Amino acid sequence: MDGYRKTYRAWDAEQNCHDPISPRDALPESDLVFFLIDLIGQLDLTPFHQYYARELRGQPPFDVTMMVTLLVYAYSVGVCSSRKINAACERNLAFRAIVGDDRPDFRTISDFRKIHRMAMKSLFVEVLRVAGKLGMVKLGNLSTDGTKMRANASRHKAMSYGYMNKEITRLEAEVEQLLKDAERLDTEQDAALGSRRGDELPDELKRREERLAKIREAKARLEAEARAEAEAEQRRRDQAQAQREADGRKRRGKEPAAVDPTPDDKAQTNFTDPEAKIMKQSNKGFDYSYNAQAVVDSADQIIVAAEVTQAANDKQQAVPMAQAALDNLEAAGIPRPMAADGTPLCIPNTADTGYFSAAAVQGLENIGMEPYLAVERQKHHEASVASETTAPSAEASAKEKMRHKLGSEVGKALYAARKHIVEPVFGQTKSARGIRRFL
């Protein structure tokens, strides 16, 4: 083998430095970027154009269709940072196919996203309208699920309400002492510093006052949240009492304690992202996150509704998400399925046990959905529920009725399909695109 060397293909790194490279020639015709370039220009982008119709000063802005196409393509391939999008416009052929030689900088991209946040929602409906016209939305099974998306906030940048009270007391005492020291120092050095005012704040005092202001602001935020929760609880109690009086019933048990509008000492808020909430993660840990919700159609995994909530669990999300899906379908001009007599059919809606409650079942039925909500968690490798043959009585609980419904052949088939309808959507977002955290 001595002296033998495999012959390789010729390679010269300088060979193509002067060759013009066209994205159309270099990329396959079926590439996603060309589909989006053809599609976005056909959508109604009026909400985006309206902003510029009000502002006629300054240099001409970048073309709206180009900027929308750029953002949609970037998110589709998991590039969310404005700086990374800007870098891709210089180095990536697919991005250059969109922007050409006139590339927006990262600040322009960031500002466009901020300015048109609400217009992006109308773009969602436009895409849904196209999917409906292509026959990709069948409404045979709308599946709902949620996933935790971490916030761009550290657990170390948070403080509990009880600790805030202690910290405010400590900082107030330190600020008072620093003011006394500053006054004494000014008096002693007045003769030597006659050309200066002599009342400049020390850096230590400025830092403590800024920290004190931030803690007071966070404390006020927790107190406002606690007051809102207390008012809601008081309204709920008043309504329950009014209903008991109307029915001629008395309260069972002893009178509950008065509603306390003061936050619990363990209540926390984050200084970096106050809207984020501490939530349990899939790894059994806790972190500041949001609960991202989606409703997905069974035919082609088309998302028909997507929202973000601060609620750590899904118990209250079934009805709002279903209503959001119906609103989007109506806005997109996608008709509901109809019976032979022209009456609208109920749309099957599947979700896991985290969404189940008697109120959720009733709420879904009231808006024309046919709920199939799991009533209990099925253990891994556990055999599926046997088919129920005996119908539950009229007096049966909502859980018993739903258990019977899920035990039917139709119920088992619809609920089993949920795993390959909505769950892959989150997998594609988090694993394939790498989008696991909000900026």
pLDDT value at residue 372: 95
Alpha carbon 354 to chain centroid distance?
Answer: 18
What type of residue sits at position 329?
L
Name 373's bridge partners. Answer: 351
Strands (E), 106-198: 142-150, 158-160
Give the Cα separation of 339 and 102 in Å (integer): 54
pLDDT value at residue 131: 92
Q: pLDDT tens digits, residue range 274-307? A: 888 888 887 778 888 899 999 999 999 999 999 9
Give the Cα separation of 221 and 232 in Å (integer): 17
pLDDT value at residue 95: 94
Most confident of 108-112, 206-210, 224-228: 108-112
pLDDT value at residue 58: 72
Instruction: Decide: residue 12, CB within 10 A, 0-12 exposed, 13-18 middle, 19+ buried.
Output: exposed
**Residue 284 region by backbone torsions, left for phi larger than 0, else alpha for psi between -120 and 50, else beta:** left
Cα distance between the two ends of the chain:
56
Q: Which residue has the higher pLDDT, 252 or 39?
A: 39
Per-position DSSP letters for 177-199, written without gaps between them: HHHHHHHHHHHHTTTTTTTS-S-
Asked whether the predicted pLDDT for residue 35 surpasses 90, the reply is yes
* pLDDT confidence bin for 251, thresholds 50/70/90: confident
Per-residue pLDDT averaged across 231-235, rounded?
84
pLDDT value at residue 240: 83
pLDDT value at residue 21: 78
Determine how many CB atoms are found less than 10 A away from the CB of residue 95. 22
358-392 core/surface letters (b: 16 or more CB in 10 A; e: else) = eebbebbeeeebbbbbbbeeeeeeeeebeeeeeee
What type of residue sits at position 106?
F
Q: Can you count the helices (H) and strands (E) in the chain?
A: 15, 8
Name 307's bridge partners. Answer: 293
Per-position DSSP letters for 234-247, written without gaps between them: HHHHHHHHHHHHHH
Q: pLDDT tens digits, residue range 107-133? A: 999 999 999 988 988 899 999 999 999
Tokens for 438? 């909000």
